[in-house]
Every structure is written in structure tokens, then in C-alpha cells.
Amino acid sequence: MAVKAMHHVGITVTDLAAAVAFFEELGLELEGKMHMEGSFVDGVIGLDGSRSQIAMLRTPDDRYRIEFSEFQAPQSIDGSSHAPIHALGLRHIAFVVDDLDDTLARLRPHGAELVRNVETYQDILRTCYVRGPEGILVELSEFFS
């Protein structure tokens, strides 16, 4: 077996504090923040002279992590963060929540915008997409017991 586990997903943002605040409000836990630069980082990511701040957040069950990076150098380029769901590339992150209405209410002050509707699928779940900071598309689902 080649893969032992998934460690994290990385997302580049222009406002690290806003991204961290949004995902902490969603329920992720901050593992830590650090400054990144130097030949090691440049060699790994392929950008000479890079400088960034990163924050690593994890889910409460400690299974998944998201690394947010804010680059001071080189300047970030637009990666079409507001592209619709059918655009090629990584499009959304999905989370199971215990109370969808409460979660939406807590995320709205952090810039969450409902993409369209909260929908119910049979007697299984309620779900929706929201756009968070930087246009990050987040799927939220509440499963019925």
C-alpha cells in the first residue's frame, strides 16, 4: 500500500486571519501558525524567494487538516476562487455539522454567503453550499438520525 493517510489540503488565501476565524467558527481547531521561507520551502514549492504565513487547522476528530497559506512574496495570483462548481480543479470542502441552521447563523458574520438554497434529500440529510472567505466553496450537511 503506497498511501498511509491523507495529511492535509492546502488553500492559499490573501487574508489568513479571516480564513482562520471562519473555519474556527465552523468548529475546526487551530494547531498552529508559522512563518515559512528559505531554501527548503523554495525547493519544495518551486518558488524562489517565497515568504508566507501558514496556519494549520484540524477537524475535532483529528482526522483531517487544512493548511492555509498567505504569501508575502511572491504576490499571489488569482486562481479563479469564485469559479462555479463545474469549473475544473479543487472546488469545495465538505463538512458534517450537528445543526445546519445554527452553523449558518454563526458563519454569516464571517462572510458566509449561501450559494442558493438549503435542500433536504429524502429523510437522510439537509445540505447546502456556502462561499466563505476568498470565495472558498464549503458544503455543509446535517444528517438526520
On the question of a cis peptide bond just before residue 74, with omega within 30 degrees of 0, the verdict is: yes
Question: Could you check whether 9-73 and 93-143 share the same CATH topology?
Answer: yes
What is the enclosing helix (H) or strand (E) of 34?
strand 29-37
Predicted TM-score (pTM) above 0.85: yes
Q: Where are the domains of the chain?
A: 9-73, 93-143
What pLDDT, in 10s, does the model give residues 21-71?
Answer: 999 999 999 999 999 999 999 999 999 999 999 999 999 999 999 999 999
CATH of domain 9-73: 3.10.180.10
pLDDT band at 145 (very low <50, low <70, confident <90, very high): confident
CATH of domain 93-143: 3.10.180.10
Specify the DSSP class assigned to residue 46. Answer: T
Name residues whose C-beta falls within 8 Å of residue 54's C-beta, 6 or more positions apart in sequence. 16, 33, 34, 36, 67, 68, 69, 70
